[in-house]
Amino acid sequence: MKFAFSTLGVPGLPVPDVLRLATDHGYHGVELRAHPEEPVHPGLGLVERADVAAEFKAAGVEILGIAGYARVAAPGDDEPVLAEIRSLVALARDLGAPFVRVFPGGGTEQSADEADATAARRLGTAARYAADAGVRILLETHDSHRTGADATRILGTVGHRQVGALWDLMHTWLGGESVTDTFAALSPYLGYIQVKDIASRDDTTPLPLGAGALPLAECVALLGAGGWDGWLCWEYEKRWYEAATPLPTLLGPAHTLLSHLTTPSP
């Protein structure tokens, strides 16, 4: 398996500094949070995009994905959501990133069936231009669809290989779903996994990887037993928790832990 970390843990950090953290601590890739407050976002011009891609290539670090905020199940008109996804897909294409992250974002003013149908319709449309761009759109297990079972209601309807799943370990756990059930549901669609750690269901302050309650070791063991050999991306949500320990001091120990968990026993 290959390891990445999300820039959500180092909000606003310039690209050269992000790359220095990745290379210093042995990470293969970085998930870029695509928000206007970040150095990489859909508003970048073509020259700036080419410069970012060149910086990553020179450092030998991959851009794992573009973490966008489009909400595919949200009520309202389709076109603003599709336009947002198109902009994320174009950014991923220009940077050479294989994945774009989207959220479900279903609202309480609609039924679960309506939210599922809305998301499936939009993702089915978006899949066509994602295919042209060579990019895969991943629906994260999050908010209104936090479990694998929730996500597959949408993904099974879409039925397009350019639309898959991003497994956020925290949200499936908070949704009461076992890692066995999540992997069984998402394995046909899985793009990559976001790993993290928290103290409890009532306290989601980010902790050093391996220091909390999430079933990280069980998850990694299950992936290995299932023959899955993709990406593990540490999403440390420092952006939302100012008092959390700064990510840079934690990257080395986290890499050591992930290496230990993914190394087969002799």
pLDDT at position 265 is 67
Residue 34, CA atoms < 13 Å, CB-side half-sphere: 28
Any idea where the domains of the chain sit in the sequence?
2-262
- CATH H-level, domain 2-262: superfamily: Divalent-metal-dependent TIM barrel enzymes (3.20.20.150)
Q: Is 115 left (phi over 0), alpha (psi -120 to 50) or beta?
A: alpha
pLDDT at position 109 is 86
Are 191 and 228 a contacting pair, CB within 8 Å? no
Work out the percent of the chain whose per-residue pLDDT is above 90: 97
pLDDT per residue of the chain (266 residues) written in tens, 0 to 9:
999 999 999 999 999 999 999 999 999 999 999 999 999 999 999 999 999 999 999 999 999 999 999 999 999 999 999 999 999 999 999 999 999 999 999 988 899 999 999 999 999 999 999 999 999 999 999 999 999 999 999 999 999 999 999 999 999 999 999 999 999 999 999 999 999 999 999 999 999 999 999 999 999 999 999 999 999 999 999 999 989 999 999 999 999 999 999 997 66
pLDDT at position 55 is 98
pLDDT at position 107 is 85
pLDDT at position 264 is 77
pLDDT at position 202 is 96
